[in-house]
Structure 1
Amino acid sequence: MAGARIGIIGGGPAGLMAAEAAAGQGAEVVVFEAMPTLGRKLLMAGKSGLNITHSEAEPAFTGRYGAASARLSTALAEFGGPALRVWCEGLGIKTFVGSSGRVFPEVMKASPLLRGWLARLAGQGVSLRTRHRWVGFDGNAVVFETSDGRQVERFDALVLALGGASWPRLGSDGRWTGILADSGVPLTPFRPANCAFERAWSSIFIERFAGQPIKPVVATSAIGSVPGEFVISRWGVEGSLVYAHAAALRDAIARDGAATLTLDLVPGRDVERLARDLSRQPAKASFANRLRKGAGLDAVKAGLLREVAPEAASLPPEALANLIKAVPLVLASTRPMEEAISVAGGVDLAGIDENFMLRQMPGVFVAGEMLDWEAPTGGYLLTACFATGRAAGLAAARYIRA
């Protein structure tokens, strides 16, 4: 492949993995990043412990990608969780499986991994150019805006890994959609995924409970029932349990104008036992004490029950037990997309071939969050970015050889 040139636009996990894969095939590779530094979103993900992948076995792992599972299955089979852990080891980063099945580097942070990775890419001869914002095409050439003005580059193949539209301050601002739309590439509108939701709380509830966790709890939506915990915020709810239901709640809001997350506040007891325990409480006891002693509800759970169902205090034990086991938390809207952990939408999967090449643009490949797929938190997001980046980089090299 002497003299063959592959351009990678986007310096996040998908773009850097595409660069590594293509350079490994002997191509000359140049990575362009609009921001001053590379891997900003990866570093942000590692601030609280880099959840790089998940130990869940197949086929459950691939099933986490929902409607996109079949389309991503080959890339994930070739570079899924086990392969990603081996790759980390090759960079000198040992990983471990947490109690939830999530996989983390032993050092927990992303910065050591990124430093080792960039050093490996430099050793492969990959050129890394920051402060280069892609603004479109000029015939067969690629055009960038830089601090020195307009720059035009030509490549034998191109990999686009520009991210979605969440956390735009880190570089994923979705501006590329206009360029691809003008080229006839089919796109699906971006939608927040793994996001928080809004609900209007009373001022008293916000003052007492904003920032406090609700745990343990089982939450039910169209996807089924999931145990876990979430956090009361000033504007609604957030946290891992909410993110697990985010796609179903988001779609229900789009369809119906609101969505209901049903909460079991006492997952360890059935309705009959809970009703008996509540009926044993003295009639003169305060409602808060009846909930604490009869149902084991702490202050924040009791406050949530009162907030969502003001009539709860007047209910007989059996009706109150049924309510505690199925509290209807109505949510009005998602939080803004730029706050979401990830997004759905982007390049329609029907617009790419089996090698992640755009059908309308031969020689142009796409990877990462640009593609219309979504997955829950837990390492699945990063794994798909790595896997599709690798697949696109290898395909770009094969395209040139062919």
Structure 2
Amino acid sequence: MGRGADRVTELGMQGNPEAVVIGAGPAGLMAAEILGRAGVSTLVVEAKPSLGRKLLMAGKSGLNLTKDDPVEPFLAAYGDAADWLGPMLRDFGPDQVQQWARGLGQSLFTGSTGRVFPEAMKASPLLRAWLARLEGLGVSWRTRWRWTGWGDGGLGFDTPAGPLCLRPRVTVLALGGASWARLGSDGAWAGLLAEQGVELAPFAPSNVGLLVEWSPVMRARFGAPIKGVRFDAGGLSSRGEAVISSRGLEGGGLYPLTPALRSGAPLTVDLLPDLTVETVAERLGRPRRKTSLSNHLRKTLKLEPVRMALVMEFSRPLPESPQTLAQRLKELPIHHAGLRPMDEAISTAGGVTAAALDADLMLRAQPGVYCAGEMLDWEAPTGGYLLTGCLATGRWAGRAAAARIKGAGDQPI
């Protein structure tokens, strides 16, 4: 990493790179790779002390690179944004992400749910190999440089050595969303773009947990996973796990429902998704003699303590009718106090709108300036979709920026 940083000092003192990439997350590094491959002198600028901080954080629990899905189901995970992101994701989707990672020396495996991981699980080996590749392509970088906007005919930066202005021919902005401020994604760039007339959608939390005010008896269940259920909200469904925490519920089983929950749709959980209402009612209708109704539930439906705790938390008093109780178990309402704060979200919706960009991801209000990654107005669930979207849009923006350089004259843009 040191040699790349040393080369930047030279660039800052003696001239301007042809391309500047602002933001050293997955989208920015991918844009830099494409620019470097095209022979464009490229500088990556990062406000934090090191590169790829959010990527490294994601890798702490296993770096989920992508989801090994067919194209159409994969695109469907992006919701309405699939219309304009579709060409980028078709160009660099799950197969291409896996080929790219293997090209960086990473052995991969696909889990039972289709999620793809490096065998090392961590992000650090991939990031080291990636930075070595960028250095070999002549890409330079500088950390602790914070972009301050446009001025004096170029890009302004606050640097450890003082203010500095660069005048590249093209710029790629890959500044992240508005969550995880401590890792660099603070959304502070929104004001700089708004001043230039760029249309922005308001930021909103995505892939985030719920706030639930539990009764005292639920304390014994804090940290326990809820397994074998299906969550439903506003027409969206998700089978997956969630964890009961002191503040509420969180986990991959809930995250795909964030768009519906954000709009106020009620949340229900099907505690027995593999059984029909009729089957559940039939089992509940069996004679229970002197057994309590709660014990009858446990015995006939094999509900473990966590699911039983949810039943008692959200459905007391229990209906006596087997049919009514069966329906309740299949659509148990989860009463909550809304989404967790945005800075606790894994990602955000909102940002630069599709209308503010052309088909190359170039800002209509700032020719020669491209945007990529989570600063764009799209959202997708966890499970490899977020990282693939960042890589695909970074590649798309980098390729368009390189093409503009090759077709441009000698005047800076």
Does the alignment reach a TM-score above 0.5? yes
Q: Any runs of at least 4 consecutive aligned residues in structure 1 with deviations exceeding 6 A, and if so which?
A: none
Deviation at 1:143, TM superposition (A): 0.8
Aligned equivalent of 1:345? 350
> Which TM-score applies when normalising by structure 2?
0.92
Is 1:320 aligned to 2:325, yes or no? yes
Deviation at 1:281, TM superposition (A): 4.4
Match for residue 235 of structure 2 among 223, 229, 246 = 223
CA-based RMSD of the aligned residues comes to 1.4
- TM alignment of 1:112-123, pairs within 5 A: 112-123=125-136
- TM alignment of 1:1-400, pairs within 5 A: 5-205=18-218, 207-251=219-263, 253=264, 259-312=265-318, 314-400=319-405
Structure 2 residues not aligned, in runs of 5+: 1-15, 408-413
Deviation at 1:342, TM superposition (A): 0.8
The superposition leaves residues 67-95 of structure 1 with CA deviations (integer Å, 9 ceiling, x where unpaired) of 11121112112211111111111111121
Deviation at 1:309, TM superposition (A): 1.4
Greater Cα offset, 384-393 or 58-67: 58-67
Determine the C-alpha separation between the residues in 2 that align with 1:226 and 1:393. Answer: 34
Determine the C-alpha separation between the residues in 2 that align with 1:375 and 1:226. Answer: 13
Tell me if the contact between 2:240 and 2:254 (Cα under 8 Å) persists in the aligned partners.
Answer: no
Determine the C-alpha separation between the residues in 2 that align with 1:236 and 1:12. Answer: 30
Structure 1 residues not aligned, in runs of 5+: 254-258
Secondary structure in structure 2 of the residue aligned to 1:46: helix
Amino acid at match of 1:376: P
Tell me if the contact between 2:211 and 2:336 (Cα under 8 Å) persists in the aligned partners.
Answer: yes
Tell me if the contact between 2:157 and 2:163 (Cα under 8 Å) persists in the aligned partners.
Answer: yes
Tell me if the contact between 1:33 and 1:129 (Cα under 8 Å) persists in the aligned partners.
Answer: yes
Tell me if the contact between 2:31 and 2:396 (Cα under 8 Å) persists in the aligned partners.
Answer: yes
Determine the C-alpha separation between the residues in 2 that align with 1:58 and 1:171. Answer: 31
Determine the C-alpha separation between the residues in 1 that align with 2:356 and 2:189. Answer: 16
Aligned equivalent of 2:11? none
Secondary structure in structure 2 of the residue aligned to 1:267: coil
Amino acid at match of 2:217: I
Determine the C-alpha separation between the residues in 2 that align with 1:146 and 1:185. Answer: 26
Determine the C-alpha separation between the residues in 1 that align with 2:243 and 2:29. Answer: 34
Amino acid at match of 1:230: A
> Which TM-score applies when normalising by structure 1?
0.94
Determine the C-alpha separation between the residues in 2 that align with 1:274 and 1:59. Answer: 35
Determine the C-alpha separation between the residues in 1 that align with 2:132 and 2:354. Answer: 33
The superposition leaves residues 125-151 of structure 1 with CA deviations (integer Å, 9 ceiling, x where unpaired) of 111100001111113211111122211
Determine the C-alpha separation between the residues in 2 that align with 1:226 and 1:160. Answer: 33
Secondary structure in structure 2 of the residue aligned to 1:275: helix
Amino acid at match of 1:39: G
Deviation at 1:11, TM superposition (A): 0.4
Identity %: 51
Tell me if the contact between 1:356 and 1:367 (Cα under 8 Å) persists in the aligned partners.
Answer: yes
Tell me if the contact between 2:35 and 2:399 (Cα under 8 Å) persists in the aligned partners.
Answer: yes
Deviation at 1:272, TM superposition (A): 2.4
Determine the C-alpha separation between the residues in 2 that align with 1:157 and 1:34. Answer: 19
Deviation at 1:4, TM superposition (A): 6.4
The superposition leaves residues 112-133 of structure 1 with CA deviations (integer Å, 9 ceiling, x where unpaired) of 0000000011111111100001
Determine the C-alpha separation between the residues in 1 that align with 2:401 and 2:274. Answer: 53
Deviation at 1:273, TM superposition (A): 2.5
Greater Cα offset, 149-158 or 6-15: 149-158
Tell me if the contact between 2:20 and 2:168 (Cα under 8 Å) persists in the aligned partners.
Answer: yes
Tell me if the contact between 2:41 and 2:139 (Cα under 8 Å) persists in the aligned partners.
Answer: yes
User: Would you say how many aligned residue pairs link Structure 1 and Structure 2?
Assistant: 392
Tell me if the contact between 2:49 and 2:144 (Cα under 8 Å) persists in the aligned partners.
Answer: yes
Determine the C-alpha separation between the residues in 2 that align with 1:9 and 1:224. Answer: 36
Secondary structure in structure 1 of the residue aligned to 2:130: helix
Determine the C-alpha separation between the residues in 2 that align with 1:131 and 1:224. Answer: 42
Amino acid at match of 1:295: L
